[in-house]
Structure 1
Amino acid sequence: MDVAIEEPHVLAVDDSLIDRKLVEKLFKNSSCKVTTAENGQRALEYLGLVDEKKTSANDNVRKVSMIITDYCMPGMTGYELLKKIKESSVMKDVPVVIMSSENIPTRINKCLEEGAEMFMLKPLKHSDVKKLRRELLCNAPVKAS
């Protein structure tokens, strides 16, 4: 039986270039494919969610295993991005992780209630990525034959 093991594909969204590079490096070191976006709008464009009438862009949808986004971003917060992803019929099952440098319980609960899988404090550490890999990226459905 030929089973190609594909690297999990993580979409990292953060308005800070330094944070984006850090997240990208941590996930790449954990053998993940990483695509970065500097804001929520770019992330939605990448995911093909800007205009749901166009289905050609939805090729990316099936390739993303997880989305990790900063909470505080200009234009569209990570919470707003999370809501848009969870409203999408195609993307709603993709795990979304919110990260923030601020530990605000009401904000954390709001994100979790809206469907975020996890809330992590920045800066992300190698142990955080290992946890995400173990809990979110290894749980991809495996078909037994």
Structure 2
Amino acid sequence: MSSFRGAKATGGEAAQEIHVLAVDDSSVDRAVIAKLLRSSKYRVTTVDSAKRALELLGLEPNVSMIITDYWMPEMTGYDLLKRVKESSKLRGIPVVIMSSENVPNRISRCLEEGAEDFLLKPVRPSDVSRVCSRMMR
């Protein structure tokens, strides 16, 4: 977790900074989404699993949004969504699910469980702008 501590903001910028937790087991997809978010001036922390995301959220609950892949080993993005929404401490954090598979009943189920949005991969800059502009309201 030391890399996470090193990513913290300094000074007064922390209060207004938007911090996005990006969760994906694919290092390429993590890098792409982190680059898109950072180009929009968001602070980004990346992790490679839903379990690590939950560990990090226990240490650093000041996350503005979670963007997570759907299919990951051990725990899916859907499972992560459910755990976040069941937690009184975390339920206010918007969760966005990403997937390369366009499966309508999966998308509906995620949205019904409280996902802010469901993005199809490859994620485009316009997707990030749309999701983040809604989050800013």
Q: Does 1:123 align with 2:122?
A: yes
How many angstroms apart in 2 are the aligned matches of 1:37 and 1:76? Answer: 13
Q: Map 1:1-145 to 2 at 5 A.
A: 6-48=16-58, 57=59, 60-61=60-61, 63-136=62-135, 138-139=136-137
> Match for 2:96: what amino acid?
V
Q: TM-score, normalized by length of structure 1?
A: 0.83
> Which one has a larger percent helix, Structure 1 or Structure 2?
2
Larger radius of gyration: 1
Tell me, in whole angstroms, the C-alpha distance in 2 between the residues paired with 1:39 and 1:95.
18
Q: Following TM superposition, by how much is the alpha carbon of 1:7 offset from its aligned partner in structure 2, in angstroms?
A: 2.1
In the alignment, structure 2 segments of 5+ residues that lack a partner are 1-11
Matched residues, number: 125
Deviation of the 1:6 alpha carbon: 2.0
TM-score, normalised on structure 2? Answer: 0.88
- The 3-state SS of whatever aligns with 1:120 is strand
Q: Deviations over 1:65-86 (max 9, x none)?
A: 0000000001000000100000
